[in-house]
Amino acid sequence: MSVLVDAETKVLVQGITGHQGTVHTRNMRAFGAQVVAGATPGKGGQSVEGVPVFNSVEEAVRNTGANATCIFVPAPFAKDAFLESVDAGIRLAVIVTEHIPFHDMLTMYHYGRSKGARIIGPNCPGIAAPGKSKVGIIPNVVFRPGRVGVVSRSGTLTYEIVNGIKERGLGQSTCLGLGGDPVVGTSFVDALPLFEKDPDTDLVVLVGEIGGTAEEDAAEFIGHHFTKPVVAYVAGRSAPPGKRMGHAGAIIARGKGTAESKLTALQAVGAHVAKFPYEIPALVEQYLPKPSGR
């Protein structure tokens, strides 16, 4: 098994005819994902990387059975693209798009929840299950199949850490990039139960950053409901208060949201904390449960 996507996931790409949509369609297919359709209004009947393009999401779903979407639509139109996908019956949307207006995302979040649809993102690298499927832009070369789950707010840190795990001779079950905006569709607390239930995940690497309370909320959940080992890293220990560092959600305000407060909360519930990203692979190897009989 894996988290949210598997070999049977049928992926639609909204905005497939744009440069980013085309490039990442090629990469998703090379990873092994079933990219079955694209949707760009007015471009129906074309083919991109061997994938048929339709004028609407409804038409794409009706003809191909797509059940997940990867959205590359520009920010002013991302809300309409997502709402269209939900109305067409899709229940997993990875939104790569950056700079989606705050109020648009609030509408998307609540509409998706009301219809039972899950958003990954926005402003995120997506999700990958090595050997099974990928929806998003995470580089193919950093993965190998294994039993380590990764859930992260940072895109580039995700790539570095996943690659380090691979170079240690280990592999990943599922890697989930949540995105770094103030409002995201899936939080740590939403993601951790999925990894808890996944029989192919033995340990989870949690990658946080300054700003907000997502990591403290995750620590509370871990303390009460999560039984698997957790290796944690929080970026931004040297960030000055009140200054945004990288992501719109990475702002320390009024003494809250600091890296130290987050790390302290995670340590208090038994997470194994790394001070630097390069320490994570060794901690993973140390605390990853060994198969019985070894």
> Which pLDDT tens digit goes with each residue over 229-285?
999 999 877 666 655 555 555 555 555 578 888 999 999 999 999 999 999 999 999
Contact 48, 22 (CB under 8 A): yes
Judge whether 247 counts as a catalytic residue: yes
Contact 125, 207 (CB under 8 A): no
Active-site position among 224, 225, 247, 272: 247
Sign of CA dihedral 249, 250, 252, 257: positive
Give pLDDT tens digits for 197-241.
999 999 999 999 988 889 999 999 999 999 999 999 998 776 666
Instruction: Write out the residue limits of the CATH 3.40.50.720 domain(s) in the chain.
Output: 10-120
Tell me: pLDDT of 287 over 70. yes
Residue 68's pLDDT is 98
Would strands 51-54 and 68-71 be described as parallel, antiparallel, or unpaired? unpaired
Lookup: tokens for 195: 């990894």
Instruction: Write out the residue limits of the CATH 3.40.50.261 domain(s) in the chain.
Output: 139-287
Instruction: Name every residue whose Cβ is closer than 8 Å to that of residue 66 and which is 6 or more positions away in sequence.
Output: 10, 11, 12, 36, 37, 60, 90
Query: Looking at this protein, which amino acid is placed at residue 60?
Result: A
Q: Residue ranges of the alpha helices (H) in 128-172?
A: 155-167
Tell me: pLDDT of 87 over 50. yes
Q: In the structure, what pLDDT confidence band is assigned to residue 175 with cuts at 50, 70 and 90?
A: very high
CATH dotted code for 10-120: 3.40.50.720
Q: Residue ranges of the alpha helices (H) in 32-88?
A: 57-64, 75-87
CATH dotted code for 139-287: 3.40.50.261
CA pair distance 127, 3, nearest whole angstrom: 9
DSSP 184: -
pTM for this prediction: 0.93
Looking up tokens 């996944």 gives: 198
Q: What is the mean pLDDT of the chain?
A: 93
